[in-house]
Chains A and B, each alone.
Chain A
Amino acid sequence: NAGVTQTPKFRVLKTGQSMTLLCAQDMNHEYMYWYRQDPGMGLRLIHYSVGEGTTAKGEVPDGYNVSRLKKQNFLLGLESAAPSQTSVYFCASKHPGTSGEHTDTQYFGPGTRLTVL
């Protein structure tokens, strides 16, 4: 199992450009998340999905869109990148279960480092 993978690992954009980050998981998890990590601020939830075809807003959704067309993939889009979106982006997935040792344990991808000039 590859777990959670993210593509690309690094990217540099110019202001106004668009791009899509891909998150893929092979653990058959229902829930998937996108976070951004900025220095001194921990991880902040951008959007999340509780299943194929569903998405919902997190704490900091502005400037981002997401899609979950397939259960294993969760895409994060930036339509018009801004320097404020320079960050490290993490994707995570988890089971929805209510009991058991691994309930609510999020499995994280390795991150994508995005720089917007």
Chain B
Amino acid sequence: AQKVTQAQTEISVVEKEDVTLDCVYETRDTTYYLFWYKQPPSGELVFLIRRNSFDEQNEISGRYSWNFQKSTSSFNFTITASQVVDSAVYFCALKYNFNKFYFGSGTKLNVKP
């Protein structure tokens, strides 16, 4: 069975703090893909990153970085020096069975000035 767990329902930080959002997944597929999406208060879903199961290299994009560890089935997302504009709900997602996607329940990040 497929499953994506985002145990942190809501996180509050003060601007400029670093914050890590956790994502743990389960799948029987040997080839799979993991994603992070951002949903700001306006409601649209914005793609952030895609990672396939064969590529465990960490990725950095500006203030964003992602740590993929197959050994612990985790795909964590870190925002460095958070800003108020980072306030949003962040979803981790798993692509399985060739065409289906399973989303976690999301982590709401509040960044206070």
Which residues of A approach B to under 8 Å, CB–CB?
31, 33, 35, 40-45, 48, 50, 56, 58-59, 88, 90, 92, 103-108, 110-111
Whether the Cβ atoms of A43 and B99 lie closer than 8 Å is no
Q: Are B105 and A42 in contact, with the CB atoms below 8 A?
A: yes
Q: How far is the CB of B103 from chain A (nearest CB, A)?
A: 4
Inter-chain contacts of A92 with B (CB < 8 A)? 45
Chain A residues near B33 (CB, 8 Å)?
104
Beyond A90-B45, A105-B50, A110-B43, whether A42 also contacts B106 by CB under 8 A is yes
With contacts defined as CB atoms under 8 Å apart, how many contacts are there between chain A and chain B in the complex?
50
Q: Whole-angstrom distance from the CB of A105 to the nearest CB of chain B?
A: 5
Q: Which of B7-50 contact A (CB under 8 A)?
A: 9, 33, 35, 43-45, 47, 50
Of A33, A42, A108, A110, the most chain B CB neighbours within 10 A belong to: A42
Give the complex CA separation of A88 and B43 in angstroms.
10
> Would A42 and B91 count as touching, CB distance under 8 A?
yes
